[in-house]
Amino acid sequence: VAEQLRQLNKLTENIILEPAGRNTAPAIALAALAAKRHSPESDPLMLVLAADHVIADEDAFRAAVRNAMPYAEAGKLVTFGIVPDLPETGY
């Protein structure tokens, strides 16, 4: 990914690349530290999403995120989910 971004001249400080894949939690922690470093005077909000999930109704998702923002800004942890139609233990 890094080499492709370099070729496209799109490698910027806003893109955080892991030197090696270490699963989700370390990547989220690195992004949180970068957000805090970028805005040290505030408590920045983060929207953490899996890269491989399909969001069928993007407008509804955007509305859900907008509706959740006041709660997140008040210091609440906001999570989004769906009603499952089958058990899944893979994540």
How far apart (Å, rounded) are the C-alpha atoms in residues 91 and 82?
Answer: 14
Counting residues of the chain whose pLDDT is more than 90, the rounded percentage is: 40
pLDDT: which is higher, 17 or 7: 7
Per-domain boundaries in the chain? 2-73
Q: Does the pTM of the predicted model rise above 0.85?
A: no
Query: What mean pLDDT do residues 31-37 have?
Result: 92
17 touches 2 (CB < 8 A)? yes
Confidence check: pLDDT of 37 > 80: yes
What was the pLDDT predicted at 15? 76
17 touches 1 (CB < 8 A)? yes
What was the pLDDT predicted at 14? 72
pLDDT band of residue 27 (cuts 50, 70, 90) is confident
How far apart (Å, rounded) are the C-alpha atoms in residues 61 and 85?
Answer: 19
How far apart (Å, rounded) are the C-alpha atoms in residues 75 and 48?
Answer: 16
Q: Which of 4, 9, 50, 5 is nearest to 27 (CA)?
A: 50
Confidence check: pLDDT of 85 > 70: yes
